[in-house]
Amino acid sequence: MKLIFFNVSEEERSFIQKWSFVNQIPVQMVSEGISSENIELVKGYDGICLYPSVEMRQSETIYKRLSDYGIRQLSIKSTGVDSVNFEWADKYNLTITNVPGYSPTSVGHFAIMSIMLLLRNVPLHMTERSKRKNLIGRELQDVTVGVLGTGRIGCVVAEGIYALGGNVLASSSRPNPRLKGIVNYVSFEELVKQSDVLSIHIPLNERSLYQFSDDVFAMMKPNACLVNTARGKIIDTNAMIDWLASGQAGGVALDAIENEEQYFNDDWTKNPFYKKLIQYPNVFLTPHVAFHTELAVKEITETALNNAKEILVKGESMNKISV
């Protein structure tokens, strides 16, 4: 068995090498994402790990050529699989796996940090130094923090805010039993209306696409803050910009921006949405790095490799995605 791993960062190399040695399975590492220009590198390999490229969402040819080269699985090295065209994957008999869970504290603690930054007006302090005494902060015990989605990451955020003395509301497709006595579950509409800070922890799918629209921003409390460490397209960015321009927003912290995947291999600041958002001094932007800790990278890398191995050896994986 031989595997090929695309989109390999410098931080991932040592973890891949160790996994390869322990499992006695050769793994070819490729820094670039998969594309029509380098897809021939797949020839002679049994399995593939990768982060889906923009081209994979647009070109059926990628899936056909992978199938032609004997590939029968795609091990996606992320939780989100919104970049995969499942219709084409199914057409060419490609089994999809993902990394459903990895160090939830990596993103969870980053979100808590972002919440605190906004409540204490840190983005504004960084850009408007002369107004120090005009920027009074808020403390957790004086606000309501809303958590949208209480899976592994959202649970970390809710528990963390509660432990720090905050009042936590939540809205989720399923209540998390770990949060009994910690949060009060409400509808999405009530979450939006009652939250002083709202933190997003749901996957991107047909239901959540542009869930934060003009109508939702109109329901938010004056001076409310929004944190997104999930996926950019959960928010209608143009609607959010209108909200920011209205002066009603207390602050925004984004680790995920709409269309960011188009700029992952270039310069994230070239994203037109970045250029618009950076105009607002109460916006804090980071380039999708909330997950980027040593523990998380290790777990993501090893899970992606184990998924590929399981599909090739057993024909099944607990992380197989069924659509």
206 is catalytic: no
The identity of residue 91, as a single letter, is K
Q: What is the pLDDT of residue 129?
A: 61
Report residue 123: phi and psi, to 5°.
-55, -40
End-to-end CA separation in angstroms for the chain? 28
Q: Which of 57, 109, 138, 288 is catalytic?
A: 288
Find, among 317, 259, 305, 314, the residue nearest to 8 by Cα: 305
Chunked into runs of 10 residues, the chain (323 residues) has average pLDDT values of 95 96 97 92 96 85 95 91 89 94 90 97 80 80 97 96 97 95 97 98 93 98 97 97 97 96 84 95 94 92 97 94 77
Cα–Cα distances in angstroms (integers) from residue 1 to residues 4, 12, 257, in the given order:
10, 21, 38
Q: Do 281 and 140 fall into the same domain? A: yes
Nearest to 220 by CA among 201, 246, 238: 246
The per-residue pLDDT for range 257-316, each reduced to its tens digit, is: 999 988 877 789 999 999 999 999 999 999 999 988 999 999 999 999 999 999 999 999
Three-state secondary-structure class, residue 233: helix
Are 269 and 124 contained in the same domain? yes
Q: Where are the beta strands (DSSP E) in 51-143?
A: 73-76, 95-97
Domains in the chain, number? 2
Q: Hey, CA dihedral for 219, 220, 226, 229, is it positive or negative?
A: negative
Same domain assignment for residues 95 and 122:
no
Distance, in Å, from the CA atom of 131 to the CA atom of 298, rounded to the nearest integer, reads 43
Assess whether 139 carries a catalytic annotation: no
Residue 95 sits in the same domain as residue 236: no
125 is catalytic: no
How many of the other CB atoms lie within 10 Å of CB of 187? 9
Q: Are residues 65 and 83 in the same domain?
A: yes
What order of strands is seen across the sheet that includes strand 47-50? 27-29, 3-5, 47-50, 73-76, 95-97
Asked if 162 and 241 sit in the same domain, the reply is yes
Considering the domain architecture, whether residues 152 and 215 belong to the same structural domain is answered as yes
In a domain, 320, yes or no: no
Task: Determine contact, residues 96/73, Cβ cutoff 8 Å.
Answer: yes
Catalytic, out of 231, 299, 302, 310: 231
Question: How far apart are the C-alpha atoms of 20 and 170, rounded to whole Å?
Answer: 42
Instruction: Supply the range of the domain harboring residue 44.
Output: 3-101+294-314
Q: What is the pTM of this model?
A: 0.82
